[in-house]
Structure 1
Amino acid sequence: MIATATATAITTVTPENWIHIFLYGIYPYIALTVCILGCWARFDLSQYTWRAGSSQMLNDKGMRIGSNLFHIGIIVVLLGHFFGMLTPHFVYERFISAADKQLVAVIVGGIAGVMCLVGLLILIWRRFTDPRVSHTSTFSDKMLLVIILVQLIMGLATIWHYPDHKDGALMLSLAGWAQDLAILRPMSAAARVVDAGLIYKLHMFLGTTLILLVPFTRLIHIISAPIWYLGRRYQIVRQKTSQ
């Protein structure tokens, strides 16, 4: 009933509707296309830049704490968004209701989001105030941290609206948006979120924009992050020099 109502509400084409359709039905495909083609071009033409550009060697004061908090938090948040939004309701409805699932998402996402926020603030403070780190940072490095900070704050701000959406209906609409995009139904996807609050729409738009920015920033390293090294056994071998 909710999906049908929102789909009907967007059938009348107005300038405002066209903007909504573009931002939430077409723009995600543009962002994903730019991301894929941009990553391919960067890997093919400039492989040396395919890295995070770590500044850890310059000054590790606060780096380890901030980096660990940020990365652990962001991984949990991203995995939660990915599986939470792309898993159809019928897959889990026998085990947990939409309302309970949303409550779990709020609690887990809130904890992970706060961890990520604390770590990110440490990293931002270090990058902007440490002379050596700031000097070796590009404009895109600093801009990216600010964008992620804004996106993270908006994501945490949606938690304050949870009491108004305890039934899980909004969560199902947002998940339906992502699932409709995945099966190439842009009009239906845009219709599902036409009545969503502004904070949710801004969060979705900025999240889509971050996907578009992947090939042009240090975000590209998440595609090939060598997570297998975490469990790898290795030793440092020094070549023996002749006396």
Structure 2
Amino acid sequence: MNYYLHQFAFQFYPYIALAVLFLGSWARFDKSMYTWRTGSSQLLSDKGMRWGSNLFHVGVLAVLAGHLVGLLTPHSVYTLVITAPQKQLLAMVVGGVFGIVCLVGLAILLARRLFNPRVRATGSFGDTLVLLLLLAQLLLGLVSIPVSAGHMDGSVMIRLGEWAQHIVTFRAGAAEFITGVHWVYQAHVFLGMTLFLVAPFTRLVHIWSIPVSYLWRPYQVVRKRPATLRYGPRA
């Protein structure tokens, strides 16, 4: 039974989660376009919003970028410039720094959601659930750092990378690479897939709407209207 559960969790569940992410996001955009938003509560209360949002987004974007590069770069490629133990140490340091930054921001946002009466009254169960899932995922990632310190040869990082690369290239045997690794890594992977699964039904869907075009969008030119237009013609 444990074998079949393991196979489901790390061989089949990732494809279910990713299919729901892509198809669910497409369906929501097609059927409920006006719900495709972050649902910001800044107008209700600005206290803590700026610090919490900025710290959270800087941290989470850096962590996500590190995961994508670290997991999806083949071992034969990154060893041209860095060894597996060095890569693991780099991931632990950078991930730890930005993970703590993200944790501080997330704690501020979660405190607003739970203890600010106006924000709590207008929020939904899904809003709170997403923050709690993100908190659990972030804590698992931070806990994995001292666990990784117990094996600095980079072998587990290689196995996790092979698992991710097998999944994205639709190869069988992906689950075998996670067999026997510490439960923290397994829980971190499984919860990460679960976040993909729930994303289309929560505010996480706005990850598809990152305003990258703002980087090259020209400045808006705002001019004052003539007095006749502002106040109407004089009698």
Q: Same fold (TM over 0.5)?
A: yes
- 1:238, 1:216 → 2: CA distance? 42
Deviation at 1:234, TM superposition (A): 2.2
Shift in CA distance, 146/237, structure 1 to aligned 2, threshold 3 Å: farther
1:214 CA drift (Å): 1.1
1:77 is the counterpart of 2:63: yes
State how far apart, in whole Å, the 2-side matches of 1:181 and 1:165 are: 25
**TM-score, normalization: structure 2?**
0.93
Q: Which has the larger radius of gyration?
A: 2
State the TM-score, normalized to the length of structure 1: 0.90
Q: Deviations over 1:34-63 (max 9, x none)?
A: 111101110110000011011111111111
Find the partner of 2:79 among 69, 74, 93: 93
- Computed over aligned residues only, the root mean square deviation of the Cα atoms, in angstroms, reads 1.3
For 2:223 and 2:109, locate their aligned partners in 1 and report how far apart those are by CA, in whole Å. 33
Q: SS state of the match for residue 61, structure 1? A: coil
| Distance in 1 between residues matched to 2:62 and 2:98, nearest whole Å | 6
The one-letter code matched in structure 2 to 1:241 is R
Could you report, residue by residue, the CA deviation over 1:197-225 in whole angstroms, capped at 9, with x for unpaired residues?
A: 11110010000000011110000001112
Unaligned runs of 5+ in 1: 1-14
**Counterpart in 1 of 2:230?**
241
Deviations 1:163-207 (A, max 9, x none): 212000000000000000011124x11000001111110010000
Which aligned pairs between 1:10-21 and structure 2 lie closer than 5 A? 15-21=1-7
* Aligned position for 1:179: 165
Pick from 44, 53, 56 the counterpart of residue 30 of structure 2.
44
Unaligned stretches of 5+ residues in structure 2:
none
Q: The residue matched to 1:56 in structure 2 has which SS?
A: coil
Report the more deviating stretch, 227-236 or 188-197.
Answer: 227-236
Give the total of aligned pairs: 228
* 1:201 matched residue in structure 2: 186
Correspondent of 1:105 among 68, 91, 94: 91
Q: Which residue of 1 aligns with 2:43?
A: 57
